[in-house]
């Protein structure tokens, strides 16, 4: 004679089977060797920046300043020809793409006293998994010059352990003396290549005519640029609970219902014997 415990054990197994199907899934960690990928948007005066302003100012300055060696004066039309803003920006992005430098290398450059970065600010904007490391952040810096105006562009670096990697080359923009309202803003989203860690920001400022580095600022100069808790999007782990619900034509049956049925069947079999 079969033991009445066997049917009871089978029913219990069926009852707890749905519970065993509840799992937790999450994104697999990605190696820190991922290629660096960053999306950036530029702002100035509270709006998305358009380099048209800088282009107009550059044309005016070019007639009074020793124009860049690439600019040619067309005597037939009287129009000053030079590479387009898009061409110059693309060339600079290609030049700085994949560029990295140490703190010592950044400090070794001779700067011009006529340019300086007066102040800078950083805000941490998006932390998808709430682990304290942000994948989006904003850098704002106020650069000044001893001249009435000067055409410049900036390069934003991100790094740790005194090693910085270029993540964004800005459009050309005009500095207006020591005007405190002409700050430039770069909002960046780290897509890949940055594991969760504390990073420092390095800002470099270049003369748009000579391509000479004229000023820079980093975490040693400004504490706002140091120890930023960041990670790229592919390190923003999202946890999800996957639940499988078993349904029958007669309606759904709870675990307690299955246990009750199993108990009733076993009790009846025991009563017969």
Is residue 157 in a domain?
Answer: yes
Is residue 225 in a domain?
Answer: yes
Is residue 96 in a domain?
Answer: yes
Question: Token match 């960046």: residue?
Answer: 188
- Same domain? 220 vs 97: yes
Is residue 74 in a domain?
Answer: yes
Q: HEC string of the chain? A: CCCCHHHHHHHHHHHHHHHHCCEEECCCCCCCCCCCEEEEEEEECCEECCCHHHHHHHHHHHCCCCCCCCCEEECCCCEEECCCHHHHHHHHHHHHCCCEEEHHHHHCCCCCCCEEEEEEEEEEEECCCCCCCECEEEEEEEEEECCCCEEEEEEEEEEECCEEEEEEECCCEEECCCCCCCCEEEEEEEEECCCCEEEEEEEEEEECCCCCEEEEECCCCCHHHCCEEECCHHHCCCCEEECCCCCCCCCCCCHHHHHHHHHHHHHHHHHHC
Structure token digits, residue 213:
């580095």
Nearest to 140 by CA among 81, 80, 184, 189: 184
- Same domain? 256 vs 122: no
Domain that includes residue 250, residue range:
5-22+243-272
Is residue 30 in a domain?
Answer: no
The values of phi and psi at residue 256, to 5°, are -65, -35
For residue 159, pLDDT beyond 50:
yes
Range with lowest mean pLDDT among 81-90, 140-149, 178-187: 81-90
For residue 223, pLDDT beyond 50:
yes
- Same domain? 85 vs 184: yes
Are 201 and 162 within 8 A, CB to CB? no
Range with lowest mean pLDDT among 67-71, 158-162, 268-272: 67-71
- Same domain? 102 vs 135: yes
- Same domain? 71 vs 125: yes
pLDDT of residue 149: 95
148-168 mean pLDDT: 94
For residue 145, pLDDT beyond 90:
yes
Is residue 31 in a domain?
Answer: no
pLDDT of residue 55: 52
- Same domain? 107 vs 196: yes
- Same domain? 218 vs 199: yes
- Same domain? 116 vs 158: yes
- Same domain? 144 vs 260: no
- Same domain? 116 vs 9: no
Q: What is the mean pLDDT of the chain?
A: 78
In this prediction, residue 173 has a pLDDT band, given cuts at 50, 70 and 90, of very high
Is residue 27 in a domain?
Answer: no
Q: How many domains does the chain have?
A: 2
pLDDT of residue 22: 35
Hey, how many other C-beta atoms are within 10 angstroms of the C-beta on 35? Answer: 8
248-264 mean pLDDT: 63
Structure token digits, residue 167:
């993540």
pLDDT of residue 23: 34
**CATH, residue 121:** 2.60.40.10
Q: Mind listing the pLDDT tens digit for each residue in 130-144?
A: 999 999 999 999 999
95-120 mean pLDDT: 89
Is residue 29 in a domain?
Answer: no
Nearest to 172 by CA among 188, 155, 158: 155
Range with lowest mean pLDDT among 54-68, 199-213, 238-252: 54-68
- Same domain? 215 vs 266: no
pLDDT of residue 24: 34
- Same domain? 86 vs 214: yes
């Amino acid at each position: 004679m079969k033991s009445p415990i066997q049917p009871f054990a089978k029913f219990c197994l069926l009852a707890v089977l749905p519970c065993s199907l509840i799992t937790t899934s999450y994104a697999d960690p990605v190696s820190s060797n991922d290629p660096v990928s960053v999306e950036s948007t530029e702002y100035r005066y509270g709006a998305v920046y358009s380099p048209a302003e800088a282009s107009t100012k550059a044309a005016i300055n070019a007639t009074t300043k020793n124009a860049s060696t690439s600019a040619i004066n067309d005597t037939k039309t009287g129009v000053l020809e030079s590479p387009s803003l898009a061409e110059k920006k693309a060339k600079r992005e290609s030049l700085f793409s994949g560029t990295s430098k140490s703190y010592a290398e950044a400090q070794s450059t001779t700067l011009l006293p006529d340019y300086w970065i007066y102040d800078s600010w950083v805000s941490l904007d998006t932390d998808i998994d709430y682990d304290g490391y942000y994948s989006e952040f904003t850098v704002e810096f106020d650069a000044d010059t001893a001249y009435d105006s000067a055409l410049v562009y900036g390069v934003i670096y991100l790094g740790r352990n005194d090693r910085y990697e270029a993540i964004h080359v800005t459009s050309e923009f005009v500095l207006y003396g020591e005007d405190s309202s002409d700050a430039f803003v770069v909002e960046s989203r780290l897509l890949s290549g940055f594991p969760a860690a504390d990073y420092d920001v390095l800002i470099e400022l270049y003369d748009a005519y000579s391509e000479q580095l004229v000023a820079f600022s980093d975490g040693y100069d400004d504490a706002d640029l140091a120890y930023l808790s960041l990670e790229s999007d592919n390190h923003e782990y999202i946890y999800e609970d996957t639940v499988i619900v078993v349904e029958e034509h007669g309606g759904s049956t709870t675990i307690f219902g299955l246990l009750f049925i199993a108990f009733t069947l076993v009790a009846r079999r025991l009563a017969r014997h």
